């Protein structure tokens, strides 16, 4: 019996020694100090869109089309595409103003895309994040340009009549929020160049 007690004590001391995970609340302080993007390059063409912005848009449109088809697993894959595109985004060709707007949407785009990517079986949850993603994408496109003609569409019925927007590459209405039930419900609000 004595041996057992000693055994427990030794075991416990060993384990608790390896258990010094203290929470670092200080991390937040560092994070908050303004995220200054340093770039030594000067921009000759501030409006030029890098391929990476296009990649993010492509990922978004891929997700939009998956939601139009009520396909959650395709939307989840598109979410992964978007996350990668944001990660490898080359901001060197953007103007300072554009960099600032990109920095402001990047974390949110990634987070919303991430939620979509892990909720392939919950399409309604994906649609909630898709709506937030649309807001980010709209601001990104407004700031950095789309490199193609896009349409900013409005669905008046989603969210119990509160309405929601989405961005499409085609003029024809194909609603990603209500899927097959209400495929052609909605209207073009704005053409984005």
Q: Which is nearer to other proteins, 22 or 42 (CB)?
A: 22
**Binding to other proteins by residue 105, rule CB under 8 A?**
yes
CA–CA separation, 108 and 13 (whole Å): 43
**127 token code pair:** 């649609």
Instruction: Measure the CA–CA gap between 91 and 93, rounded to whole angstroms.
Output: 6
Interface with other proteins includes 42 (CB under 8 A)? no
Q: Answer yes or no whether residue 104 interacts with other proteins by CB under 8 A.
A: yes
Q: Using CB under 8 A as the criterion, what x/- string covers residues 59-98 for binding other proteins?
A: ----------------------------------------
Counting contacts by CB under 8 A, is residue 107 touching other proteins?
yes
Shortest distance, CB of residue 35 to other proteins, whole angstroms? 9
What's the sign of the alpha-carbon dihedral 164, 102, 47, 81? negative
Q: Find all residues with CB under 8 Å of 136, minimum gap 6, and list them.
A: 105, 108, 109, 112
**In angstroms, what is the minimal distance from the CB of 10 to other proteins?**
10
List residues bridging with 40 in a β-sheet: none
Using CB under 8 A, which of 2, 3, 23, 172 touches other proteins?
23
Buried b (16+ CB within 10 A) or exposed e, 148-170: eebbbbbbebbeeeeebbbbbee
d(CA 165, CA 188): 9
Only one of the segments 11-19, 65-73, 81-89, 148-156 lies at the binding site for other proteins (rule: CB under 8 A); that segment is 11-19
Burial state string for 117-138 with b = 16 or more CB within 10 A and e = fewer than 16: bebbeebeebbbbbbebbebbb
What is the nearest approach in angstroms of other proteins to the Cβ of residue 105?
5
Looking only at residues 112 through 151 of this chain, which bind other proteins when binding is defined by CB under 8 A? 112, 128-129, 132, 135-136, 139
Residues that bind other proteins (CB under 8 A): 4, 7-8, 11-13, 15-16, 19-23, 25, 28-29, 31-32, 103-108, 111-112, 128-129, 132, 135-136, 139
């Amino acid at each position: 019996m004595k041996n057992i007690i000693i055994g427990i004590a030794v075991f416990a001391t060993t384990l608790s020694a390896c258990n010094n995970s203290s929470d670092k609340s200080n991390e937040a302080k560092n994070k908050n100090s303004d995220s200054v993007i340093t770039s030594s390059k000067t921009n000759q063409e501030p409006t030029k869109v890098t391929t990476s912005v296009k990649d993010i848009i492509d990922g978004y449109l891929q997700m939009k089309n998956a939601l139009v088809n009520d396909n959650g697993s395709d939307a989840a894959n598109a979410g992964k595409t978007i996350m990668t595109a944001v990660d490898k985004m080359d901001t060197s060709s953007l103007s300072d103003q554009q960099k600032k707007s990109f920095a402001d949407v990047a974390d949110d785009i990634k987070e919303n895309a991430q939620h979509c990517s892990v909720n392939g079986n919950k399409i309604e949850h994906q649609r909630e994040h898709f709506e937030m993603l649309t807001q980010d994408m709209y601001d990104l496109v407004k700031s950095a340009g789309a490199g193609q003609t896009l349409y900013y569409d409005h669905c008046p019925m989603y969210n119990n009549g509160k309405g929601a927007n989405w961005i499409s590459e085609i003029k024809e209405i194909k609603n990603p929020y209500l899927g097959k039930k209400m495929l052609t419900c909605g209207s073009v609000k704005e053409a984005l160049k």
